[in-house]
Structure 1
Amino acid sequence: MVSEEAPAAPDRTETDLVIVTGVSGGGRSTVARALENVGYYVVDNLPQALLLDMAELAFAARGAARRTAMVLDVRSHAFSTDLPGAVKSLRERGFNPRMVFVDADDEVLIRRFESVRRSHPLQGGGRLSDGIAAERKLLQEAREQADVLIDTSHLNVNQLRGRIEEMFGEEDTTQIRVTVLSFGFKYGLPPDADFVLDARFLPNPYWVPELREHTGRETDVSRYVLGQRGAVTFVETYARLINATAPGFEREGKRYLTIAVGCTGGKHRSVAIAEELARRLREMRLAAAPQHRDLGRE
């Protein structure tokens, strides 16, 4: 009698699940719209208690909901403090969800709420800052365990949408994605950076009258920056470092790297270096794209 092999267990990892959460006013709605733009079926304001049920429905639907994003926030009556525990349950069931956490500085959040004349969902009878503090405490563990942390303090809607579309566009999802983010030190460090590179050792094109009003994305400025002593070596060294460490990050399950390149104002040196570093990483067959946080702020 020939024994029949037991059927293989369903592979739930084929269902691409993204969980979006973060502070109120941080940009969850923008992230949700961006995910819809790249083909995700988005469920907004999902009670946490229904995470597993929604994941199973997405799995059962296969092609219709192969890429599903679930957006959670504290306004859901079923929200609890154990979102990491819920994510762990998804993994135990065989899913491989990715969690995106959006954050912003308190001052920025207060300005955003005041501009739309809304109270914070956890404010109660207190101040805006009280609601923000309560929410941060509630979400602290989720923030620490997020796969993708995006600080939106210095991002406009289009920049945030662009970062999400770049990260989650329909490509090989097993390959690590690298964002090379230029920024200005005078506007603060990007808190979501995995590496921070300092380009301030290079001469500043700001002090060259014919270059001052131009940016590092333009040929004349780029040629000036990259023509300085040590600039090309700087880019090549970090390109090799990132290329060498990327396989290790992938083995550890990290799918996104943010390489922040800073100069004084985020207009000339950091922009030129970020563009060149992203180009060299693409030559090394890494999925890399430049983003410019502070370009245009001056």
Structure 2
Amino acid sequence: MSAPPEQPEHPQAEPPATEPSQPEHDLLVITGLSGAGRSTTAHVLEDLGWYVVDNLPPQMLGPLAQLAAQASGAVPKVAVVLDVRGRGFSADLAAALAEVRVRRSILFLEASDAVLVRRFESVRRPHPLQEEGRILDGIETERELLRDLRAAADVVIDTSDLNVHQLAASVTRAFGEAEATRLRLTLLSFGFKYGLPTDADHVVDVRFLPNPHWVPELRPLTGRDDPVSSYVLGQDGAEEFLDRYAAALQPVIAGYQREHRRYATVAIGCTGGKHRSVAMTEALTARLQALADERADGEHPGPVLRVAHRDLGRE
């Protein structure tokens, strides 16, 4: 099926808010045009720690808000995704919102007609309101039904020019708390003889350093013990490697944070995962933490660092 000619964007009464400040709320209502990104938004909010209810009938909004208020903090952030399922949707939602007795905010998602048509055609699904007409007929009907709701929205995001990652970034900026959006960076030691970690984003080989396994008094110890750590870090090239690799990771970490990645793993390997990789992982973590503390500020906190030793304790 070929795409229809480009349609002019539907006129808007006001420009969409692209960098909203986070509203005060106990309940967030997510609505907007079909195909504008409600499902993606719901998934992002779940990742940010919200309790998300999808496709809730408007009549259930008041009881849900009351239950959330009575939960005494057990469900601190509730988001509800509401979509058009009938022509009475707008009136039903307006009545339901009037009955809500807690602080609430409305997030409205929209896009241009041409973009929405392409999205529906790409998934080969009809618009929920097009009936026997064209996709554009359904879009126009939905715009009219939601006109008053859009005007009442606290946050409006136009997704016409956004991919899923850019939409996720917009939602995160609007509704994410700093701690929930920080990168979780795991520094993982491992032994090559047991295989590569399947979840590693970066793999580092420290087998260029002499192996403490061949030093009798160090063999029963691990990289967490001071004698082994001092032996490994005292080898030629060890400290230089740590300094340079920690510096090389800085633009990577910054890029992950700009792209709103939540998790990443740096795997440091030696032969058995007991001596060199453990000592180097501990030392690299200390360097990265020092750099993060030095550069972090209230607006751009550094990553949360976690150390794990996958093969420590294996025979």
Other-structure match for 2:52:
42
Q: How does 1:26-175 map to 2 (within 5 A)?
A: 26-75=36-85, 79-90=89-100, 93=101, 95-170=102-177
Determine what percentage of the aligned residue pairs are the same residue: 51
**Cα separation, partners in 2 of 1:76 and 1:35, compared to 1, 3 Å:** farther
Under a length normalisation based on structure 2, what TM-score does the superposition of the two structures give?
0.48
Q: State the shift of 1:14 in Å.
A: 8.9
1:22 equivalent in alignment to 2:29 = no
Under a length normalisation based on structure 1, what TM-score does the superposition of the two structures give?
0.50
Structure 1 CA distance for aligned equivalents of residues 30 and 43 of structure 2: 12
Structure with max Cα Rg: 2
Q: State the shift of 1:171 in Å.
A: 5.4
Q: Which sections of structure 1, spanning at least 5 residues, go unmatched?
A: 1-12, 173-217, 219-282, 289-298
Q: How does 1:129-278 map to 2 (within 5 A)?
A: 129-170=136-177
Structure 2 CA distance for aligned equivalents of residues 21 and 61 of structure 1: 24
Structure 2 CA distance for aligned equivalents of residues 28 and 87 of structure 1: 19
Q: Which sections of structure 2, spanning at least 5 residues, go unmatched?
A: 1-22, 180-250, 252-296, 301-315
Structure 2 CA distance for aligned equivalents of residues 116 and 123 of structure 1: 15
Task: State the secondary structure of the residue aligned to 1:73.
Answer: coil
User: Does the CA-based 8 Å contact 2:90-2:146 persist in structure 1?
Assistant: no
Letter in 2 for 1:73: D
More displaced 10-residue stretch of structure 1: 163-172 or 145-154? 163-172
Task: State the secondary structure of the residue aligned to 2:89.
Answer: coil
Task: State the secondary structure of the residue aligned to 2:78.
Answer: strand
Structure 2 CA distance for aligned equivalents of residues 102 and 127 of structure 1: 21
User: Does the CA-based 8 Å contact 1:14-1:66 persist in structure 2?
Assistant: no
C-alpha RMSD of the superposition: 2.9
Letter in 1 for 2:66: E
Q: State the shift of 1:169 in Å.
A: 1.3
Structure 2 CA distance for aligned equivalents of residues 106 and 130 of structure 1: 10
Deviation per CA, 1:115-142, whole angstroms, max 9, x where unpaired?
0000000010011010000000100000
Q: State the shift of 1:111 in Å.
A: 0.1
